């Protein structure tokens, strides 16, 4: 063996490697994209006007705690962009504000709604909100823009509208029906729906919609805990794929800020966390700790996370 030749080959390889390392070191580092901070907690709202806070979600009050007599059941909750307040919406279009949530209007008590309100969605800056009714009617308050509704189009949904989600810039929104039909308004894009995906009716009613962070997709949740993805929305699990049978129907889905996780909440307050969504507790856990029996447990209507 020619040891001199072997040594020269080894030296040549070292020169090449050293040159490559030097070139790599000369390349400027590309800063990593800032990750969305994880949610620090969430609220659960009940039909009777109760609010439960978990982890970093501070309860600033509720109709139930104030002894307010509701004209109609509470149907939804939305959190301010600071996480320091929230709105509750009633089926009659009434709005209750707590913390730093501003009051920008409500459906007048004297007004006769064609259909009950089923949801409330805040604008990105928290200076307005939308109420959505089961017939697809949309009511805009504060800096929330009105971009259309089903009644305005003289369209009647094949199934009741059950949820709404806004685009990231607040210049559009989606409505979803219990049959999985999706209606897009403003700058909200249409990326598909359950009937188109399944080629037929959904096996369990759809209960909510959650938009992806860039607004180029959305998730639909069903009462049995199934989750379907459309556009660029990420699927990170469901009660169905996890082999979980919810003890009560799922009533909503809430995404994390990163879009890499979400929570499902049942009407009994059970919470199912997927992806980077943290589990911080649930109403059944709080009630069992307090010695409240299931027969007196409230009906949960929604979950909203803090930023």
Domain count, the chain: 1
Write the pLDDT tens digit of every residue in 109-118.
Answer: 878 899 999 9
* Residue 6 is assigned to a structural domain of this protein: no
pLDDT at position 1 is 41
Residue segments in the chain with a per-residue pLDDT below the cut of 70: 1-39, 288-296
Q: Are 67 and 81 in contact (CB under 8 A)?
A: no
216-to-124, 128, 130, 139 alpha-carbon distances in Å: 16, 23, 20, 24
Residue 146 inside a domain? The answer is yes
User: What pLDDT score was predicted for residue 13?
Assistant: 35
* pLDDT tens profile 152-190: 999 999 999 999 999 999 999 999 999 999 999 999 999
In a domain? residue 10: no
For tokens 């008590």, name the residue: 109
For residue 248, tell me if it sits in a domain: yes
Q: What's the Cα-to-Cα distance from 138 to each of 82, 166, 187, 255, rounded to whole Å?
A: 25, 12, 16, 22
Say what the pTM is: 0.85
Contact between 167 and 175 under an 8 Å Cβ cutoff? The reply is: no
CATH number of the domain within which 85 lies: 2.130.10.10
> Distance (Å, rounded) from C-alpha 76 to C-alpha 118?
7
Does 169 map to a domain? yes
- Residue 26's pLDDT is what? 35
Return the C-alpha torsion angle 182, 187, 189, 193, nearest 10.
Answer: -10
The verdict on residue 82 lying in a domain is yes
pLDDT of residue 294: 52
Domain that holds residue 273: 42-305
What is the C-alpha separation between 139 and 135, in angstroms, rounded? 12
- Residue carrying the six token digits 């943290």: 278
Establish if 196 belongs to a structural domain: yes
**pLDDT at residue 23, as a whole number:** 32
In a domain? residue 29:
no
């Amino acid at each position: 063996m020619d040891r001199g030749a072997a040594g020269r080959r080894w030296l040549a390889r070292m020169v090449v490697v050293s040159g490559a390392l030097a070139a790599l070191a000369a390349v400027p580092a590309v800063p990593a994209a800032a990750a969305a901070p994880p949610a620090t907690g969430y609220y659960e709202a009940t039909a009777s006007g109760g609010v439960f806070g978990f982890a970093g979600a501070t309860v600033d009050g509720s109709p139930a705690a104030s002894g307010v007599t509701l004209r109609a059941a509470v149907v939804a909750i939305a959190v301010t962009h600071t996480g320091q307040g929230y709105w509750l919406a009633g089926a009659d279009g009434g709005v209750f504000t707590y913390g730093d949530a501003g009051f920008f209007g409500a459906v007048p008590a004297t007004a006769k709604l064609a259909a009950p309100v089923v949801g409330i969605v805040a604008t990105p800056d928290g200076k307005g909100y939308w109420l959505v009714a089961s017939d697809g009617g949309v009511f805009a308050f504060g800096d929330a823009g009105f971009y259309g509704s089903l009644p305005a189009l003289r369209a009647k949904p094949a199934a009741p509208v059950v949820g709404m989600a806004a685009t990231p810039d607040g210049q559009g929104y989606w409505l979803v029906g219990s049959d999985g039909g999706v209606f897009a308004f403003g700058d909200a894009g249409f990326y598909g729906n359950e009937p188109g995906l399944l080629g037929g009716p959904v096996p369990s009613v759809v209960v909510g919609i959650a938009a992806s962070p860039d607004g180029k997709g959305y998730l639909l949740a069903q009462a049995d805990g199934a989750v379907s993805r459309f556009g660029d929305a990420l699927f990170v699990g469901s009660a169905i794929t996890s082999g979980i049978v919810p003890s009560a129907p799922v009533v909503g889905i809430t995404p994390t800020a990163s879009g890499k996780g979400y929570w499902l909440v049942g009407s009994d307050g059970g919470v199912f966390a997927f992806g980077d969504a943290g589990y911080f507790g649930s109403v059944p856990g709080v009630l069992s700790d307090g010695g409240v029996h299931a027969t007196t447990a409230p009906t949960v209507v929604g979950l909203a996370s803090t930023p």
